[in-house]
Structure 1
Amino acid sequence: MRIYAVMVVYNKHLSECPSFCSAKSQSDVQLLVVDNSTDESVQNQEEARQAGAWFLSMNGNKGLSKAYNAAFDMLREKPGDWIVLLDDDTEIPDEYWVKLRTESPDAILLPVVMTANGKMISPAEMKHDIPHLAQSTESITEITGINSGMAIPKRLADTYTYDERLFLDYVDHQFLKDMKRTGEKIRILSVKLYQEFSAEQTDLESALQRLRIQRRDLHAYYGNRSWKARYLVFKRKIRLAFQLKKPEVLWHG
């Protein structure tokens, strides 16, 4: 079995990325690091080479969709069974790789992704084209999920192009929606990953910058159903205002 792991890194040294450490320890996994970093002090190419990983620099933060498209283009002509998408902040246990090797690449696999405080963030329930957290994997009827740990049969990656209007948010939901439209199966891989959830902001300026990205991505995803984008942005503003104790977030343009 041939497995490729694609990890997009942003302003982190590879040694700080638990998913990098996990993937490089697997002798049958070829790791491809796609570097979206803008911090010039972060130089990952040599560390990737020493670990036997392939390295692709995006020369700045071009967004997640463009990074995935660049990775898929690089892997398109290469033989293989799986492409695994890895976030740079996710703990990947060895059990994940053991179970993946037993799976036939006839469906997209979503592992169970947990936050440090025990909240399940993937897989999730899609209701009226809006993702909702699920209480358990058994309760999900319309499945969606996040990129972290998603295993994609390589035959699908060879023919898929991500929507590059989506910079960061809903890249995963759009991919899974497109796959369901073509009749592809999605299954849950019964192993838990643990992620530092990047949406939990503590700094006001970082939170507002993240909100601006979310707004653009939501409007791109929903298109002429812009009321859904406005509704979700407002919900996120309320959550941020309470989280940061900064009511001025509600008036942020």
Structure 2
Amino acid sequence: MERYDIQDITAIIVIYNTSCSDSISYQRLKEYGVRMIICDNSTSDYGNQKIVEADGNVYINMGGNKGLSKAYNAALAKVAKDTQFICLFDDDTDIKKDYFEKALEHINTSKTDIFLPVVKTKTRILSPCKFKKKRAVEAKTIKEIDLKNISAINSGMIINAHVFDHYRYNENIFLDYIDHDFMREMHKQNRKVEIMEDNVLNQDFSMETNSLKSSYNRLCILNHDLKEYYKEDYLMYLYQITAYKLVMIKQHKSLKFVHLKKFI
């Protein structure tokens, strides 16, 4: 079995309205010597092209915020041919030094298409999660997740590059649920998934910390994306968006979330 090392992995980071100098993900990956493709969705110039290219990495200016799926697809078009695995990161993930050491242990001992870390917030297991009656539902423990019904968020996900010979992200989904859309399609393609239980990432979850204004704007985006994700099941879309609205109304004690503006 061929053995892989850090040079066989390319990381994709989508930057939004921040400098790579302030991105903990970028700085950690630079420190560890990981090849990177940076897609810049920023609406202003933060000097990222100069920073990224000076570090010998690939920079893509998206010309404004074009959404996560379009950024990922733009990055995939720039992946070097010798890349064996693609790793996705948010720009604010603090990656531990041994993350790739542990990942490579899994990669080199398993013929798997998708490797998932355990992603935690201060209060929850955010990823992996499980599909239950067409919904992505959080798990209280990793042990309760069945690989046949598993889903996950993008951050930290390591994907065998050959997967993208037959897949591109749905550009009608702007931000939310592109990860669940990806995992749903991977199940249809019978891709093999492995949970790296010993590899943990700590992630801030914006809906736990956002202000009223930020939460409202984010829910408008989510509303748009849920309509696309559930385009073949309108009742499930209504169920999901209503549930999210109720959570936000309770959290912020505001009825602002009852009526959502059109995002796109």
**Structure 1 length as normaliser, TM-score?**
0.93
Map 1:25-36 → 2, pairs under 5 A: 25-27=31-33, 29-36=34-41
* 2:66 partner amino acid: K
Listed one character per residue, the Cα deviations across residues 117-138 of structure 1 (whole Å, up to 9, x for unaligned) are 1411000011011011101111
Aligned residue in 1 for 2:118: 112
Unpaired runs of at least 5, structure 1? none
Aligned residue in 1 for 2:16: 10
Aligned residue in 1 for 2:96: 93
Q: Which 4+ stretches in 1 moved above 4 angstroms? A: none
The CA distance in 2 between the partners of 1:215 and 1:127, in whole Å, is 20
* 1:161 partner amino acid: R
* 2:191 equivalent among 177, 184, 197: 184
Is 1:150 the counterpart of 2:157? The answer is yes
Equivalent residue of 1:238, what SS? Answer: helix
The CA distance in 2 between the partners of 1:235 and 1:152, in whole Å, is 31
Is 1:47 the counterpart of 2:51? The answer is yes
Aligned CA RMSD, in angstroms, stands at: 1.5
The CA distance in 2 between the partners of 1:183 and 1:252, in whole Å, is 37
Aligned residue in 2 for 1:137: 142
Aligned residue in 1 for 2:28: 22
The CA distance in 1 between the partners of 2:66 and 2:167, in whole Å, is 18
Aligned residue in 2 for 1:79: 82
Unpaired runs of at least 5, structure 2? none
Identity of aligned residues (%): 36
Is 1:206 the counterpart of 2:209? The answer is no
The CA distance in 1 between the partners of 2:155 and 2:67, in whole Å, is 16
The CA distance in 1 between the partners of 2:81 and 2:16, in whole Å, is 26
Is 1:218 the counterpart of 2:223? The answer is no
Judging changes above 3 Å, is the alpha-carbon distance between structure 1 residues 44 and 210 closer, same or farther for their aligned structure 2 residues?
A: same
Q: C-alpha displacement at 1:157, in angstroms?
A: 2.2
* 2:191 partner amino acid: E
The CA distance in 2 between the partners of 1:216 and 1:32, in whole Å, is 27
The CA distance in 1 between the partners of 2:74 and 2:165, in whole Å, is 12
The CA distance in 2 between the partners of 1:35 and 1:205, in whole Å, is 24
The CA distance in 2 between the partners of 1:43 and 1:212, in whole Å, is 30
